[in-house]
Every structure is written in C-alpha cells, then in structure tokens.
Amino acid sequence: MSKDQERAELHRTIWAIANDLRGSVDGWDFKNYILGFLFYRFISEDLTAHLNATEEEAGNSGFNYATDVTDDEIDEEIRRSTIDEKGYFIYPSELFQNVAANAETNADLNISLAEIFKNIEASAIGTASEQDMKGLFSDIDVNSPKLGGTPAKRNELLAKIMKNIGQMDLGGNLRDAQIDAFGDAYEFLMTMYASNAGKSGGEFFTPQEVAELLARIACDGKNRITKVYDPACGSGSLLLKFSKILGPEKAKGVSFYGQEINITTYNLCRINMFLHHVPFNQFDIQLGDTLIEPKHLGEIPFDAIVSNPPYSTRWAGDDNPLLINDDRFSPAGVLAPKTKADLAFTMHILYNLSTTGTAAIVEFPGVLYRPNAERKIRQYLIENNYVDTVIQLPENLFFGVSIGTCIIVLKKSKADNSVLFVDARCEYVKNGNKNLLTENNLDTIYNEYHNREDVQYKAKLVSNTDILANECNLSVSSYVEQEDKRERIDILSLNQEINNLVTEGISLRERINNIITTL
C-alpha cells in the first residue's frame, strides 16, 4: 500500500471510529478522549520499542517489554535512565496494550485508568521533563457523567474507546511505518474537530497548507535554524511544519518554543510534540498570556517566528500603565488598542526576532489600514524598515473565519528599503465549503515572495517613502493593480455592428410600408 493509500485508509478508519464512539458526548468534548487515548497508546508503544531496542543491543534478542516483564519489577537504574531519555516511564501492567486487553472485563477500569494517568505524569516529577508531562491527561475525565450515567456505563464506553484505538492500523512497529502514523492521525483528527467546531476550532488549529507556507517563508535563505518560536502556538501545527520543511536531519538541531493561553490547547500542543517524535528536551511549551506574562524572553532571539495570533482580541492595553514602558511595546510610542491586540503581538514578535531572523505572521486585514494607534505602530515599523512583505491570502481558508487574512513578514536586516506586496487572493481551489491552497498555489506564492520583483497583477515592490506618504497603508490592493477580467469590447466593431443593424432596420421598415400600401 502506498503512503497516500495508507494515509487515506487511516483517515477513514479514524473518523468512523470517532463518530461511532461519540454517542451522547459532544464532538468537541469527545476529542479529548480520542486524542488522549491515542497519545496513551503512542507513549506505551514508543516506550516498549525503546526498551526492546535497548535489550537487543545488550544481546537479549526477542525481548518484549510488554509481555516478558510480568511483575512490574524494574531495575531502578533502568527506570531512571529511561525517564532521562524518554521523559516518562510506564510499568508493563499499565501499558495501553495490556490494559486494553482486559478492559472489557475490568469492572474498575475508570479507577485503573485514572491511577495510570496519574502515575505516568508522576514518573517525571523531579526530572527535567516534569513540566512537559505535567497535566497531559487532565482533560481525560474517565469519571465524567457524559460518558454514562453509572460507572458500569462509563467503563463500557471507555473499554470500547480502548478497543477501537488499539485496533487502528498505525504501522505496528513505530520504526517501520511508511508514514508518521500517530502524528498524522492526530493532525487529521484535529482538522476534523476544528472544521466541525467553527470559530472555536480556528482558535487552536491553523490549516496545514497555511502552516507550510509560513514555515517556507521563515526558512527562506537560511542554512541553519536552531530556535523556532510561536507566541500563540495553539496545537503546535505551525511549529511542527519546520520538521517537514527542514527535513529530519536538520530538524534534529531545532528547538521549539511556544506559549498558549488556553490550558486544553496547551495540553494538545505538548501531546502533538510527543506524537511527532519531538523529544521533551527539544521543546518548551508554556502556559500563560504572552502579552502580559511572556515566558520566553530569556530565550531570545529566535531565528524563525511563525504565528497566527487571535484576531482583534482584547488585551490590557493602556489600562495597564506599565505596558507603555515595556521594551517590547515602547519603541512605537503607543500601545495597540485594547479591543484589537493584533499589533501588540506583532511588536512582541519583532522584539523576540534575531537580527538575521524572519517572522511570518497571519494577521487580520484591518491592521493594514486602520487609523490612530495602529497607524502609528505601522509608521514605526515602516520607518525602521522592518516590514519585508505583505501577502493577501484568499478568503475562507480558516476555520470560523470567512474573510481573507494576510501574512506580514518582518525582518530586521533587509537588503532594500521597500516592501513587497503580493496579491494571492486567486491562489486557491474549492474544497467543500472551504478554500484550499494546493501545492501549486503554495509554490506560486512562495516564489513571488522569494523572487521579490514586480509581477503584473501579482506582486509590487513599493518604497517605504511611498508607503509613508500613503498614510502608512499596507493594504495589498492599494499597490497591486487588479486585472480587469471583464470581456474587452472593440468599440469600432461595435459601432459598425450598430450601423449595420440600423441600415437593416431601415430596409425592413421600407418593406413593411410597401406591403401595407399594397394591401
């Protein structure tokens, strides 16, 4: 079976299982169970594969940690070294595959699972991975009344979840799968849940093709990237695209940093990292309000920053008198409006960007032309030559947002004093009730960004001086002429046709008059 066939079959199976299992639980809530148990299976199989490989290297071929260790008696040194490497530990009796095998007959399944999840998180306490594991299972409430009115009913559904998750064909041996099956399954499920959740789905998930475009832009012209950052990281899809763009070898040297304000999405992001084989010591995802309590200022500067911050969300703004003196916001001399934090995120991102770095940010289009404080912030960015490119995207790409968004690219070291404007509104194909960027669309947009030259109806390089003279307006339509696709009319031919019709009408009238006279 080819990779595409394997992936398509996996997607069909996953969605069928999710719908079959959901029952009375709202789909948005039920995602926590499907995604959580998928994660539980992954870390169980990943740990088993790791310990099996360790034993094989020691000459103990054929060893299977899941079945050969029956009493949970593990050498403490082995346990500690495993936690140092994997970030957690699971005893054989608590592995997903062993719990699932007896789930249907376990009258205390909910109690067992709650204890197991607690033990997995506790295995990291006092180690370098403690914060990475803490609370990862907190959204899986195995005692929720939503699962059933009695413990027996809840256990029946929990057993069914485990059985179906366990039967998913995710490649058997993690090292032999043609596709990154667990990571791919996770991304697919989040896409499906996001599309069905509307606006709330868009708050935690950025479409994969948009994520890829941002990563390609941020990587352009760089031989080496060591730190990638997203201050509003959601489920982490933007950060993880760098692994694909850079390739597995270069990605090994990249550290991923992110911050997320929503605790459930924060957990999803950390789980996503594990499922995409990012070691715990290679990512640092923090919980909190980035604008008020930034967690990564000590890690700056970053080589690449990608982000899709919440559109026109509220923030403290000038209600907090300390913010105007904050090094992130003070250079512009004004704060973003309290009801529109978009450019506050932009200023935060600029502050965290390295001298040779690139930031690619999805923005609400209003930030390109709105007056007052936002105009002054744009003026600061333009006068200091920080705005590299503005790309107008097609409408209806994002979950819960139908209008066309834009991408603002920031750099601190530019070769010219101009801004490239790219009109990509027509670069899409219809995909159900959404629009989609295909590989060809992505290549076209990226090439126009990379080439940085005028293309009729597509791209225009405009000097900072001209932009400042135009009220600091960064709207793409103000600089890129739109192609007039209306049918062109040949006036001379049209006049000749009209004259012919008039002559024919006169002749016809004369014939009618002659007939009337004869009658």
3-state secondary structure 428-462: CEEECCEEECCHHHHHHHHHHHHHCCCECCCEEEE
Nearest to 34 by CA among 177, 256, 152, 196: 196
End-to-end CA distance of the chain: 85
Q: Which long-range contacts (CB under 8 A, 24 or more apart) does 93-99 make?
A: 94/119, 94/120, 95/44, 95/47, 95/48, 95/66, 96/37, 96/40, 96/41, 96/44, 96/45, 96/162, 96/165, 96/166, 97/41, 97/44, 97/45, 97/48, 97/66, 97/166, 98/66, 99/162
* 15: CB partners within 8 A, 6+ apart: 188, 189, 192
Those residues with Cβ within 8 angstroms of residue 20's Cβ, 6 or more apart along the chain or in another chain: 164
The residues of the chain scoring below 50 in pLDDT are 174-179, 199-202
The dihedral over CA atoms of 257, 173, 6, 42, expressed in degrees to the nearest 10, equals: -40
Pairwise CA distance, residues 206 & 363, whole Å: 12
Q: Report pTM.
A: 0.86
346 touches 361 (CB < 8 A)? yes
Nearest to 44 by CA among 92, 102, 111, 115: 92
Q: Where are the alpha helices (DSSP H) in 282-354?
A: 342-352
pLDDT in tens, 80-126: 999 999 999 999 999 999 999 999 999 999 999 999 999 999 999 99
**pLDDT tens digits, residue range 393-415?**
999 887 666 788 999 999 999 99
Q: Which amino acid, one-letter code, is at 473?
A: N
Q: DSSP secondary-structure letter at 179?
A: S
Both tokens of residue 224?
């080496």
Helix, strand, or coil (residue 388): strand
Look at residues 408, 439, 169, 186 and name the one whose alpha carbon lies nearest to residue 309.
Answer: 408
CB-based contact 242:215 (threshold 8 Å): yes
CB contact set of 173 (below 8 Å; sequence gap of 6+): 49
Contact assessment for residue 238 and residue 214, using Cβ atoms and an 8 Å cutoff:
yes
Query: What per-residue confidence (pLDDT) applies to 197?
Result: 56
Q: Given this model, what pLDDT does residue 199 score?
A: 45
- Pick from 378, 380, 443: which is nearest to 408 by CA? 378
The SS3 of residue 514 is helix
> Which residue stretches of 247-341 are H helix?
248-251, 263-275
Is the CA virtual torsion 150, 153, 159, 160 positive or negative?
A: negative
Cα–Cα dist 225/239, whole Å: 12
